[in-house]
Structure formats: structure tokens, C-alpha cells
Amino acid sequence: MISPKRGVRRSQFPAFRHFCQSFNLNKGIVQRLFSTFANGWPGKGLLLLRVITGAMLIHFGIANLHEDIPLQIAAPQIIAGGAGVFLLVGLWTPVAGTLAAVVKLWIAFTLSSSHSGDPWIAVLQAALGAALAMIGPGAWSLDSRLFGRKHIDLGDL
């Protein structure tokens, strides 16, 4: 449905719109962090980076669900897996990348939480999450569709 005042497409889900407005996510945070979303080859490179990082985070999160380990050891990996889902689709990329970086650094420095026993895998995943949080999601993401600049064609009026 088109808003008569602004000519911008409004969401069909009022609960999601209320959630975004209550946390100031409706064009606030993401659009201020990234004035443009990379398109072309850089955008495809960011898509590849998001897919690889999200898939790794999800893989390690699911791998901990299949083992019989205490919840306090598996919880950080599961949280990182949830952040991986957001990175995979490119939704709230700065928040998800920061969360993944912090959780993976926590896993790297507390060796009891490390799934593979090698802390460098967690450090690499933290670096990828931090890079995505700083660079942005790119044009091939939900962030660019929801929070990107809109083109308003005045010829239709």
C-alpha cells in the first residue's frame, strides 16, 4: 500500500512497523551508518562475504546442538548461529556483525567454549563479523531494501 504523503511503500505487517519504530530502526540506525549500499561487483563481494560468514556461524551453532555438552558452553555458539542467520539474509547487519564478533571473541578467549578446540577459527569468525559490521551489508540485502534510500518518481503524480 502506498502512503499518500510520501509515496513510499509501507509494510503490510503493522507489528513489525511498530517494533522498528519503538527501537528507532525505521531508517534510523542503518541508514545513518551506511549512506549508500554497495552495488555491482563490490555488492556481490559483500553478498559472498555475508553468505560465507553466516554459513560458518550457523554451522558451528548447529553442531553444538547435536552434541551432549552443557548449555553454558553451547549457548555462545547458538547465539552466534542466530547472528549468522541475520548476517546471511543481510538484516540488521551492524548489530548482527557486532554480536557475532563479541561472542566469537568470548569463545576464543575462553577455551572451554571452543567447539573445535582451535581458538583461531573463532578469531577468524570474529574478524569477519566485525568487518561486515563496519563495511555494511551491500545492495543485495534486506537492509538495503528496508532502510535504503528510495527513489520517488514524481512523474506518476
112 and 73 Cβ atoms separated by less than 8 Å: yes
- What is the DSSP code (8-state) at residue 154? G
Beta bridge partners of 9: 2
The model's pLDDT over 9-64, given as tens digits with 9 standing for 90+, comes to: 555 656 656 555 555 554 555 655 665 777 889 889 999 999 999 999 999 889 87
Distances (CA, A) of 28 to 17, 34, 35, 75, 90: 13, 10, 11, 30, 16
Q: How many other C-beta atoms lie within 10 A of the C-beta of residue 111? A: 11
Residue with cell 543481510: 90
Q: Please state the rounded mean pLDDT for residues 151-155.
A: 70
Q: pLDDT at position 96, please?
A: 96
Element holding 99 (H helix, E strand)? helix 93-109
Share of the chain above pLDDT 70, in %: 69
Q: Which residues contact 100 (CB under 8 A, 6 or more apart)?
A: 53, 57, 80, 83, 84, 87, 125, 126, 128, 129
The domains of the chain are located at 36-149
Residue 81 burial (10 A CB sphere; 0-12, 13-18, 19+): buried
Q: Please state the rounded mean pLDDT for residues 94-105.
A: 96
If one compares 7 and 140, the residue with the highest pLDDT of the two is 140
Q: Please state the rounded mean pLDDT for residues 111-126.
A: 79
Q: Is the pLDDT of residue 69 over 70?
A: yes
Name the grid cell of 80.
552466534
